[in-house]
Structures are given as structure tokens and as C-alpha cells.
């Protein structure tokens, strides 16, 4: 019996040893990050290293590397649990050291990105006295011949909807550079691996494409755009004093419905309306904080819309603060409207007050402008703000303007869609609403005829066109391109590697891509714990800076960070504590908290300290929203544990 028990103990010990040993290889210089690779279409998964044949591996599969053999074979698994999938050849795999990915921005207001075979070719264009002139012949050659010297791929003409055609642009190398006008630019060595291996329609890959194919693509786009529909959701402040603007908004919508019905386009433009007030816990008489009165598509004509909003009037009582919960209204529009059925997605905020900050106890969302702007970008919605500069809110105007300029900053136009209405003029406000609704409706009318919004978004404004009309025309084209990319299945080029600038080579201020870091569930949870801990420590630190950093060191220890990093120096920073995980190392973003030390925190005034705390609080709320958003998690490896799914987190959302 003792021998049997001894045998069992030995077996258990051996199993335990093997389980501990079965871990992926660590990246060089890292203690928590494992080696990863992405497969290309040539990859075959082998049962043994010397197997003659294997299973085709879908492009874009991520594997963890458990062993690197001298013959070039990699032993790989789908996750870090010790599960082994088999072996692949290292020649068909791309090392993925950074979890950073680049997603193309909408190409409507810029030139399409070019990917070069050679770094020197791109460097020469960037450093040229006139980079626009240097790159112009390449664009001309691509337009006329479908190829250009030194160019291995060109971004598709339509926007790539990564939610439907998920793709990855992993960064292999990054180098900072400057254009001749001193505008900064990153020269990125990238590899693209698409889930669908077919070369994207409309993408020049340097191999040459026939003019007939280009003509066919144009015909397809012309046919597809006829189904383009738009939704305009008004998010209106219905606190005391807002009745004239509520009535004028209803009047404008009624007029547009009449025009659409006359043109036979009532099925192509839909209106929605959200009303917001403030915290009903403080003032129950407000009845609601935010309410969706009508969702786009629920009203088929003006009469139906009017019936659904007939009970919308200004509040009968005053709110506790002058600020209202505008962010609650925007969040309702983003979360409760089914935007996916519309190509054009517009939200129009109407208010005479500032927004209650996410950190205020009267905020119902806990979110600030930055988080809502990022959510709108994900939904593909543009947010406009019509800010009524009434006399009553004079002291609040500057603060509110800053909030709404942040909220409405548009990635396509690289400017905020913020429009002030002087003195709160009902007449000027009415003109703005009429122009906006009419402009969007006109674009839909063009779409129904198989036409895109007039002109390139980079073109000069139409004569007599004011700023809002010009912005709306450009956005119309951007949304049409996004819609075309979605319905025609536009994809990134299937597989290539090369060099690409992160900004337009012609219009230097315009980014051609937006960076996201792909975090696993465990990493997002760790980030949430870190931000919560730093925020709690910062609250204590408003009374005593040394108390704050004592808590930060304790937090770092509790999360298993390297104890040798923790010192008692007052210059010791949050970054030096190791709190910010290795998964954030080397990312091209500037942390707002990494450089904070005991000395620098003590030197801040109470307002600056409070601003840091409020920013962390809003980000924490946003992480909770990300974690709960099951639709946005992406599986990169078939058979991997769900904990290895990743979420595309914008760099702006990092602490």
C-alpha cells in the first residue's frame, strides 16, 4: 500500500511539474509577456515537427510560442494554459512583440495610405522639401495603371469596417521622423494579415489591376450606395428655459419630413429624439434624467413623429445645478439606438448649459466627453453640438464650450463639430437646424441616385457654403465610404509587409490610422485594478502625498510587481513602481500618470489633483463598460480560452 501511495505521489508530482513547465517562452527582457506569432496563409499546423503534411491554418491566427527548434519549427498553443496545438514553420509566422495595432481612419478627408516595399523610399518622400509633390506621381500611376514604383499596397478607397472585416496592422518597427514643415510623423514597419485572404476590391497591391476591374468596382459602388440611409438623433436639453428650442426642433423635423415625402425618400432618412435633464434623486420633479422619446425608424412620417414627441416639454422645476446631464443624453443615444441599420449616423446635441462631469455625484453615467467621443467613433456616429449662448449661462459658456469641443472632435475632419448660437437666438438656431437636416437629406437623395456626396472631402468648400454645411458635406462622403466598405465587404490587403507613414504624405496634419492596443481580459482587469488603486491612493494623497505613495507601493506589492523596484525616494514615480503592466511598455502614448512622483504630486494645487482623480474615475467607468461589452471582444485563436480574447482599446483611453 505504501509503495502504491508513493507511486501516486510521484505521478502527481510529475504532473504538477509538467503543468508548471508547460508555459510559453517569455519575451526577451520581460517577466510577464510571452512570445506570440501571427500566421500567414502559407502556414500549416503539423502534428509533429517532421510531419509531411498538416492542417491549413486560417490567416490571422495568433499562437503562443512554447518552443523554438533548430530546424525552424515552432511549438505553439492557442493560449498560455499549456495547451499545445502542434508545430508551424517560423517562415510563415510573424513575430508579434507589441500588442499595438493600427486601424485605418476614414479616407474621406485625406489621401489613401500607401505601403512601401522599401523604407528608404518612404524616408525620401517624408524628408523632401515638398512631400506632396514627391508623392503625387505615385498616386497618378496608381490611378492610371493600378501600380506604382516601390508601392506594395494601397489602402482601399472605401472605409474598412473592422467590426465586419477584422484586420490587423501589427507594428514591427517604429521610427520618429519629421516632414519639411516640422510636422511629426512615424515611419512604421508593418505587416497586415487579414482573416479573408482575398485581395481587397479596389486595393492596388503593386501587381497591377486592369481598368475593367476599376470600372466594375465603380459600378458596384454606384449600385450599393442607392441603399444608403441616414439617422439623425436630436439630443435636447429639456430643462427650464428650453421650450422655444424644443418647439423649433419639432418644427424643423416636420418640415424635413414633408420635403422627404414629396421626394419619395421618407424611408431613407429617419429621425430620433432623446431628451435629458439632471439628477432625479436630487430633484424628483424633473421626472427623468434621460429619455428616448423616439428611435430612428419608429416614425414613418411627420405625423407619427409629432405624436411620439407631443409630450416633450421643458421641465416644470429647476435642476439642482446649472449644468445638466448632457452626457446621459448622449449615452442614451449611443446605447439605445440601433445604429447598424443606418449608413449615415448623426447625433445633434442642443443645450444652453454645461455638462455634469462624470466624477460628479449627480452624474448618471460616470463618463466624460472623451469616453463618449471614443464610443461614438466606434459606433461610426458624428456628434454635433449646438451651444446656445444665452445670457443666463454667461458664466458657464467657456467651460461648456471646452466640454463640447472635446465631445464633438471629429476624427475625419480633425476638428470639433461645435457651433455656438449667439445670444441663444431662436431664429439663428432654427436656421442651423434647418440647414443641417436639409444637408443630410440632400446627401441621401444623391445616394438614392447612385451618387456620392459632391466632391472630395479634401476639396475646397462650395461657394456660399458655411462652416457647418461644409463639415456636413465632408462627413456625408465619409459615412458613404464607410457604408460602401461595409456592404461591399471591403477588406485590408490580404498579406503584405512594408513601410507606412502614420500621417498623410500630402496633408500632414491628417492621421491615416488610429492606434489601438489589444488587451486580453486579464490585462484589462489588471488595468482596472491599477487605475482603481491609483485613484484611491490619489484621494488619500490630497491630504498627504507620502500617504498616497505608501498606498501605491502597497498596491504594487499586492499585484505581484517586482519588490526591488520599490524605493523610498520622493522622486520615485508611478512608472518606476512597475504598476503599469509590461503590456503597456513601448506603446507610443504619453501616460498622464506615469511620471507622477511624491514631489510632483505635492507640488500640484488641489484643482490639478482633483482633475487627475476625475480623469481616472471616468476611465475606470469606461473600462467597466468595455468589460461588459461582449460584442466587441475578438477571438484571435480558435480553441483558445475566452480569457485570451482581446479588446481594441484606444491609446487615448489608457491612464
Domain boundaries, the chain: 23-95, 100-203+491-511, 228-425, 520-653
Query: pLDDT per residue over 391-432, tens digit each?
Result: 888 889 999 999 999 999 998 888 899 999 988 899 999 999
Query: Which residues does 228 contact at the CB level (< 8 Å), separation at least 6?
Result: 268, 343, 344, 444, 447, 448, 480, 483
Query: pLDDT per residue over 6-52, tens digit each?
Result: 444 444 433 333 333 478 999 888 888 899 988 887 889 999 999 98
**Banded model confidence at residue 455, pLDDT cuts 50, 70, 90:** very low
| Region of residue 635 (left: phi > 0; alpha: psi -120 to 50; beta: else) | beta
* Residue 441 scores a pLDDT above 50: yes
Angle at 470 between CA 466 and CA 474, to 5 degrees: 175
56 versus 579: the higher-pLDDT residue is 56
Per-range mean pLDDT, top range of 98-102, 153-157, 278-282, 538-542: 278-282
Q: What is the pLDDT of residue 648?
A: 85
Strands 93-95 and 36-39: antiparallel
Gap between the Cα atoms of 167 and 490, Å rounded = 11
Gap between the Cα atoms of 368 and 573, Å rounded = 26
523 versus 492: the higher-pLDDT residue is 523
Q: Please state which CATH number belongs to domain 23-95.
A: 2.30.30
Report which of 352, 327, 321 is spatially closest to residue 276, judged by C-alpha positions.
Answer: 327
Q: What is the pLDDT of residue 460?
A: 43
Report which of 531, 482, 527 is spatially closest to residue 646, judged by C-alpha positions.
Answer: 527
Q: What is the pLDDT of residue 170?
A: 78
CB atoms within 10 A of CB 9: 10
466 versus 525: the higher-pLDDT residue is 525
- Extract the C-alpha cell encoding 80: 498560455
Gap between the Cα atoms of 604 and 2, Å rounded = 69
Gap between the Cα atoms of 299 and 330, Å rounded = 20
The whole-number average pLDDT for the span 355-382 is: 92
pTM of full prediction above 0.85? no
**Banded model confidence at residue 198, pLDDT cuts 50, 70, 90:** very low
CATH class of the domain at 228-425: alpha beta
- Extract the C-alpha cell encoding 330: 448622449
* Residue 560 scores a pLDDT above 70: no
Query: pLDDT per residue over 322-337, tens digit each?
Result: 999 999 999 999 999 9
Fold agreement between 23-95 and 228-425: no
**Banded model confidence at residue 609, pLDDT cuts 50, 70, 90:** confident
Amino acid at each position: 500500500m505504501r509503495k502504491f501511495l508513493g507511486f501516486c505521489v510521484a505521478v502527481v508530482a510529475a504532473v504538477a511539474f509538467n503543468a508548471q513547465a508547460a508555459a510559453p517562452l517569455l519575451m526577451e527582457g520581460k517577466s510577464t509577456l510571452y512570445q506570440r506569432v501571427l500566421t500567414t496563409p502559407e502556414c500549416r499546423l503539423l502534428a509533429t515537427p517532421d510531419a509531411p503534411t498538416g492542417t491549413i491554418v486560417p490567416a490571422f491566427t495568433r499562437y503562443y510560442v512554447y518552443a523554438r527548434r533548430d530546424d525552424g519549427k515552432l511549438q505553439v498553443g492557442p493560449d498560455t494554459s499549456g495547451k499545445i496545438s502542434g508545430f508551424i514553420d517560423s517562415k510563415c509566422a510573424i513575430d508579434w512583440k507589441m500588442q499595438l495595432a493600427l486601424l485605418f481612419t476614414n479616407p474621406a478627408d485625406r489621401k489613401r495610405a500607401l505601403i512601401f516595399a522599401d523604407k528608404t523610399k518612404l524616408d525620401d518622400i517624408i524628408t523632401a522639401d515638398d512631400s506632396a509633390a514627391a508623392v503625387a506621381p505615385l498616386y497618378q500611376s496608381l490611378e492610371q495603371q493600378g501600380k506604382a514604383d516601390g508601392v506594395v499596397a494601397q489602402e482601399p478607397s472605401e472605409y474598412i469596417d473592422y467590426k465586419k472585416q477584422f484586420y490587423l496592422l501589427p507594428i514591427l518597427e517604429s521610427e520618429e521622423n519629421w516632414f519639411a514643415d516640422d510636422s511629426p510623423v512615424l515611419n512604421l514597419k508593418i505587416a497586415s494579415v487579414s482573416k479573408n485572404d482575398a485581395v481587397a476590391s479596389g486595393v492596388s497591391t503593386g501587381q497591377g489591376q486592369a481598368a475593367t476591374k476599376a470600372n466594375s468596382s465603380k459600378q458596384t459602388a454606384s449600385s450599393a450606395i442607392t441603399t444608403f440611409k441616414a439617422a439623425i438623433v436630436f439630443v435636447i436639453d429639456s430643462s427650464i428655459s428650453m421650450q422655444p428650442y424644443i418647439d423649433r426642433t419639432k418644427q424643423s423635423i416636420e418640415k424635413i419630413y414633408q420635403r422627404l415625402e414629396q421626394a419619395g425618400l421618407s424611408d431613407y432618412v429617419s429621425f430620433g429624439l432623446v431628451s435629458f435633464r439632471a439628477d432625479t434623486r436630487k430633484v424628483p420633479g424633473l421626472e427623468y434624467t434621460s429619455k428616448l422619446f423616439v428611435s430612428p425608424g419608429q416614425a414613418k412620417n411627420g405625423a407619427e413623429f409629432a405624436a411620439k414627441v407631443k409630450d416633450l416639454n421643458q421641465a416644470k422645476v429647476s435642476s439642482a445645478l446649472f449644468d445638466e446631464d448632457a452626457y446621459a443624453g448622449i449615452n442614451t443615444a449611443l446605447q439605445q439606438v440601433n445604429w447598424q441599420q443606418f449608413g449615415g449616423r448623426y447625433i445633434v446635441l442642443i443645450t444652453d448649459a454645461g455638462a455634469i462631469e462624470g466624477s460628479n455625484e449627480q452624474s448618471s453615467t460616470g463618463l466624460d466627453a472623451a469616453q463618449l467621443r471614443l464610443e461614438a467613433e466606434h459606433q461610426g456616429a458624428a456628434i454635433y453640438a449646438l451651444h446656445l449662448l444665452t445670457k443666463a449661462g454667461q458664466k458657464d459658456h467657456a467651460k461648456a464650450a471646452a466640454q463640447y469641443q472635446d465631445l464633438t472632435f471629429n476624427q475625419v475632419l480633425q476638428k470639433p463639430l461645435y457651433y455656438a448660437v449667439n445670444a441663444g437666438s431662436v431664429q439663428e438656431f432654427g436656421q442651423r437646424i434647418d440647414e443641417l437636416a436639409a444637408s443630410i437629406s440632400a446627401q441621401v437623395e444623391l445616394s438614392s441616385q447612385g451618387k456620392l456626396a459632391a466632391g472630395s472631402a479634401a476639396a475646397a468648400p462650395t461657394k456660399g457654403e458655411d462652416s457647418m454645411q461644409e463639415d456636413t458635406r465632408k462627413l456625408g462622403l465619409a459615412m458613404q465610404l464607410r457604408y460602401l466598405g461595409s456592404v461591399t465587404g471591403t477588406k485590408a490587403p490580404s498579406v503584405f509587409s512594408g513601410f507606412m507613414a502614420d500621417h498623410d504624405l500630402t496633408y500632414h496634419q491628417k492621421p491615416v490610422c488610429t492606434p489601438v492596443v489589444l488587451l486580453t481580459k486579464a490585462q484589462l482587469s489588471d488595468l482596472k485594478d491599477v487605475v482603481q488603486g491609483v485613484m484611491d491612493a490619489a484621494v488619500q494623497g490630497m491630504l498627504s502625498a507620502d500617504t498616497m505613495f505608501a498606498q501605491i507601493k502597497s498596491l504594487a506589492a499586492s499585484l505581484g510587481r517586482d519588490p526591488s523596484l520599490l524605493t523610498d525616494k520622493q522622486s520615485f514615480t508611478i512608472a518606476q513602481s512597475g504598476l503599469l503592466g509590461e503590456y503597456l511598455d513601448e506603446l507610443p502614448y504619453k501616460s498622464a500618470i506615469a511620471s507622477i512622483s511624491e514631489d510632483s504630486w505635492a507640488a500640484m494645487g488641489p484643482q490639478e489633483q482633483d482633475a487627475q482623480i476625475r480623469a481616472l474615475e471616468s476611465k475606470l467607468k469606461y473600462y467597466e463598460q468595455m468589460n461588459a461589452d461582449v460584442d466587441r471582444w475578438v477571438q484571435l485563436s480558435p480553441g483558445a480560452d475566452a480569457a485570451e480574447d482581446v479588446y481594441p482599446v484606444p491609446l487615448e483611453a489608457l491612464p
